[in-house]
Structure 1
């Protein structure tokens, strides 16, 4: 089978499309014929060797955590899913023609494989950080870097829970944020004052790692009311860095319910082939994403 792999840590140029042996489902796992794989910032952080504590990596290594596809092997002890079922979930080395998943859910009716591949990690992350930051219905949450995949999920989940959201993003994404129910403003010079004019902030999330943690602490008045998923220096300011996943299966179940009820939709901004993995990582690292980037197999 074809698979994207890297044999050393480094830039996008270390990614290569290779011929590899097919993986097989072990106990409690399923294997899918991959139709699409999600492109996440953690993918290139793993490729660079940034997050070895949370993601121990043995070289050579495959790439990718999220995928959608059709079940073609069911491991020992797995119940409730059968060969031929369309699923989306999380596993390992998903930039490939076949991948093993350790957490999954059936795809909601009407969702394409391309769209489904964009949900697993971002929805788990969104649910996790909303819980960790402790924001409650009736309060206001500030989201820095709100137009990407995690931000898109946070805005919609928060709205469903009765939480007001102020989102920062580039000028081109202001209408997109408003369409997701957020109070929107741009980042850049004067952004703190623009946020203040929109109202007081009870809690804040840093999803972009753009060096705004001090300002987020200033706006909330307490570093314990700020969570980052992108700035590794957060703990130096007393800000929690959230990098360890919770229950992906529970997150997928909630995502499927929200999608089915029309309460959650994350658009696919751009698709790539496996041979274009390096380009996908370059674009992901550049930021300015609206929704998701995915690999189509």
Structure 2
């Protein structure tokens, strides 16, 4: 099989397609012939060496995968021929940038016919981040006011739809250039952060889901109602900032996404009900991964990028 590996930290040019032996599934794992691989900004940061989540090179990046089960020797969950997708092993290395992946069966779910492999590969990381932030941590319910920062990004555009499905009134921030894109996903209000200060025009929010970090997290304290909850997907670990929130009577949580088959099935239910779709900005062939990472490095994405295998 072919895998995409790197032997040094650096720019997209360090990513190399090489031949490698196929992995052997352990008990409770399945062997998946990959059809599509979702790309995430985190992987560009790992490639460049911005933090050592999976150690030093050589390594194989990637977690978002969709494909077909080839072998399931010691698990009852799937059989050969089943179409599956998921985010196996995160935050440990899963070797997702590969033609074949061995993954715990528990970290995968069946792909619905309504999702292509490309769409399914785009969903797990962003969908699970949004779900765990809004459902598991935020406890968003009918009538809550929710502010989603960065509504045009991968997590943001999915979070808008999940919050709406939960019955929330949804406000999102986005650039002027992304306004039309963001409006497709049904927010009640879109705030152009380049034209106005969101902290001056948004009030009485129950839950803020942050995908930006930095000053945006600090300023979000001003828009929460008493007892409100800030959930940040940038996993901020700032004791002074947390103390500020707590002193003001607010809650502060960082969502570090993890594999969750229950949440994955929840996402599938929303997809099949027509209440959730994931936007793929662009696809790239497997051997053009360096070009895809150059787009990742450029930022300002609308939705997701996907490799096809």
- 2:43 aligned with 1:38, yes or no? no
Aligned twin of 1:159: 164
Q: Deviations over 1:241-273 (max 9, x none)?
A: 32241x421122112211111111112111112
Extract unaligned runs of 5+ from structure 1: none
Q: Find the partner of 2:103 among 93, 101, 104.
A: 101
Contact 1:70 1:83 in 2 (8 A): yes
Q: Find the partner of 2:151 among 146, 149, 157.
A: 146
User: CA 1:134–1:258 in 2, change beyond 3 Å: closer, same or farther?
Assistant: closer
**Normalising to structure 1: TM-score of the pair?**
0.89
- Give the number of equivalent residue pairs: 291
Contact 1:170 1:186 in 2 (8 A): yes
Aligned equivalents of 1:150, 1:95: Cα separation in 2: 21
Q: Find the partner of 1:80 among 55, 69, 77.
A: 77
Contact 1:202 1:220 in 2 (8 A): yes
Aligned twin of 1:255: 267
- 2:9 aligned with 1:12, yes or no? no
Aligned equivalents of 2:87, 2:304: Cα separation in 1: 16
Q: Find the partner of 1:265 among 253, 257, 277.
A: 277
Q: Deviations over 1:31-83 (max 9, x none)?
A: 1111100101222233234454xx4335311010011111111142x113111
Contact 1:24 1:73 in 2 (8 A): no
User: CA 1:223–1:39 in 2, change beyond 3 Å: closer, same or farther?
Assistant: farther
Q: Deviations over 1:6-28 (max 9, x none)?
A: 22333333222222221121111
Aligned equivalents of 2:76, 2:145: Cα separation in 1: 41
Contact 1:206 1:229 in 2 (8 A): yes
Q: Find the partner of 1:65 among 63, 66, 70.
A: 63
SS at match of 1:117: helix
Aligned equivalents of 1:124, 1:141: Cα separation in 2: 17
Aligned twin of 2:186: 181
Aligned equivalents of 2:80, 2:125: Cα separation in 1: 24
Aligned twin of 2:253: 240
Contact 1:228 1:234 in 2 (8 A): no
Aligned equivalents of 1:73, 1:236: Cα separation in 2: 50
RMSD value, Cα = 2.3
Worse overlay, 269-278 or 282-291:
282-291
SS at match of 2:205: coil
Aligned twin of 1:286: 298
Aligned equivalents of 2:4, 2:84: Cα separation in 1: 21
**Residue 233 (structure 1) shift:** 5.6
Aligned equivalents of 1:275, 1:193: Cα separation in 2: 44
Q: Find the partner of 2:175 among 164, 170, 175.
A: 170
- 2:199 aligned with 1:202, yes or no? no
**Residue 158 (structure 1) shift:** 0.8
Contact 2:191 2:198 in 1 (8 A): no
SS at match of 2:141: coil
User: CA 1:176–1:61 in 2, change beyond 3 Å: closer, same or farther?
Assistant: same
Extract unaligned runs of 5+ from structure 2: 89-93, 243-251
